[in-house]
Structure 1
Amino acid sequence: MNKTKGYIEAEISKAITQWEKDFLGRGSVSVKTDILRDMVIVVLRGILTPAEYAVCETKEGILSVKRLRSDLVESGEETLKQIILTFTGEYVKSFYTDISTRTGERVMVFKLQNDLEKKLKN
């Protein structure tokens, strides 16, 4: 079966939601995955707790929450890369992530070895 771009994006979203629940103890409110050229871009909404929002009222608090959340995600980076490989058949060349303490969104960008979008069109 030839998997469509939309199918792969949905499967990655489901797998990352499950990873969040298993690894971080709770999932985000919503996850949207997009395949663009040689990148898989994942946007997770609603990831901060009410306590984290309260801490984020100061500059030090923002930096502290960003650092802690970044460390948590980076400690699970190999599993995340494996999820991408499983659903795309592509190895992850590099991984970037950041969190907005204002909106409670996290963006993950997986840069792949090859142009997956072009491959899916053929």
Structure 2
Amino acid sequence: MLKSQGEIEAAVCDAVSRFQQEFMGRGPRNVHAHLVDNRLFVHLEGVLTAAEQRLVEGHAGGDGNGRGAELLKQLRSHLFGAGRPMLESLVSEAAGSALVTVHHDISPMNGEEVLVITLAAAPPCRDRKRR
């Protein structure tokens, strides 16, 4: 049976949360996914570990060497690259379509992360029920 768009989005949220928790070591506080044709837009909040928050706070408060946010972005970029096969597998299974591209960015100052994922094809969805 086909999934609804909302069910696919919820499955993608679960997959991304699982990746964050198992690979990055901490799950997000909130995660939202939106499916538009063959693209997924995923927004995560509260992704920084306590150590990462301290690193960034040292940068913002002037106590550190001023490179905390830059170092965090570099670290997360490398980790994301290393874990990409796992993420692709989880999201592909959840969405029912292979991934073509994944774009990623993180805001060290507020702990938000975004993913823009292009799928090989728009996942087949059940039609919305009309009221």
Q: 2:116 aligns with which of 74, 97, 109?
A: 109
Residue 62 of structure 1 is matched in structure 2 by 69
Q: 2:106 aligns with which of 84, 99, 102?
A: 99
- TM-score under structure 2 length normalisation: 0.82
Q: What is the Cα deviation at residue 33 of structure 1?
A: 0.9
- TM-score under structure 1 length normalisation: 0.87
Mapped partners of 1:53, 1:88: distance in 2: 32
User: Which range moved further: 27-36 or 58-67?
Assistant: 58-67
Mapped partners of 1:49, 1:85: distance in 2: 27
Larger Cα-atom Rg: 2
Q: Please state if 1:6 is matched with 2:18.
A: no
Residue 77 of structure 2: SS of its match in structure 1? helix
Q: 1:74 aligns with which of 69, 81, 98?
A: 81
Structure 2 contact 103–116 (Cα < 8 Å) conserved: yes
Mapped partners of 1:32, 1:75: distance in 2: 23
Q: Which has the higher helix share?
A: 1
| Equivalence map 1:4-43=2 (5 Å) | 4-43=4-43
Note the residue ranges of structure 1 that are not aligned, 5 or more in a row: none
RMSD (CA atoms): 1.7
Mapped partners of 1:38, 1:107: distance in 2: 17
Note the residue ranges of structure 2 that are not aligned, 5 or more in a row: 61-65
Q: What is the Cα deviation at residue 102 of structure 1?
A: 1.6
Alignment deviations for residues 72-104 of structure 1 (CA, whole Å, 9 cap, x no partner): 111111111112221222111111000001210
Residue 83 of structure 1: SS of its match in structure 2? helix
Number of paired residues?
A: 120
Tell me the amino acid that sits aligned with residue 22 of structure 1.
E
Q: Could you tell me the percent identity over the aligned residues?
A: 30
Structure 2 contact 55–69 (Cα < 8 Å) conserved: yes
Residue 84 of structure 1: SS of its match in structure 2? helix
Q: What is the Cα deviation at residue 121 of structure 1?
A: 6.3
